[in-house]
Structure 1
């Protein structure tokens, strides 16, 4: 029997090429089951600030690309740092674009998990709580029971892939997203 590929859209709340959360996403991609296609939407910095006046059928191209990526995915994985105790502006902006049209955004009803690494002993949990709340209001099915907030200090300066426990936890998160998407009857992607 042929296995079905499942696409999971990945959003990254950091624009830095060398960010630890980008490395976390790389680790998630490397450790994902073979039937899962994690696709990073790496244009989050191109999105204009949300403005209802330009949110029409002719919305800017990066917005249309974001919404198309979300619509084609069966689920979403969001990796975010914590900036000043909360969610990064670029990620909040993406959530605002994805929440429209109100009540029928591209992630409506789709399972979503928030993960990340941040400085401090709480590992970004404040930003993750705010991110989960915002995506839930925007219509995603946030898996609140799945949490992965890691303090930077745990990695000791190493790439997340070098931490077997973290790589295993990321694989488990992805597997839970796939199971949740299947249970909700969401079609596999592409």
Structure 2
């Protein structure tokens, strides 16, 4: 509707109110059309304009409300898209943090398994050391015995080999006599024996 038509409608508003009070506008238009077709056309136009104005008065607030609602919808959609973008960023961060947490938990589990494995190894090592510590005394005594035996080993081997080589056919008394002589001979050479 142009501003000129609105001005005309506003001027005619009082007239329209009076006309709207008329019960039967169609009968009025028919009566006028019988007398003048042009005047009937004008009244028909005026009736249609009145109907348009009535509809416009109902539709205009709805159109304004629709425009306001569309603007609010546009702002809400923009805010919603910003919120969705923020949610997507937060979900990406959450996914990344979940991956970091899973990696950290895997590292922790590896560390716990390594700790348990090392604890078992330490326990076994301590048991071995404790077991060897009790054997240490025995081995120390044996080492001392071996050192002593090593000092007399040459003389003992010499005496034993001589005995086996030379006394096989003799009687026991001769053998004892030979062994005593050989021991005294070995003693003069400073070779230790038992």
Normalised by the shorter chain, which TM-score bucket? under 0.3
Task: Give the alignment's TM-score, normalised by structure 2.
Answer: 0.20
TM-score, normalising length: structure 1: 0.20
Which has the larger share of strand? Answer: 1
Structure number with greater Rg is: 2
Tell me which protein shows more helix as a share of its residues. 2
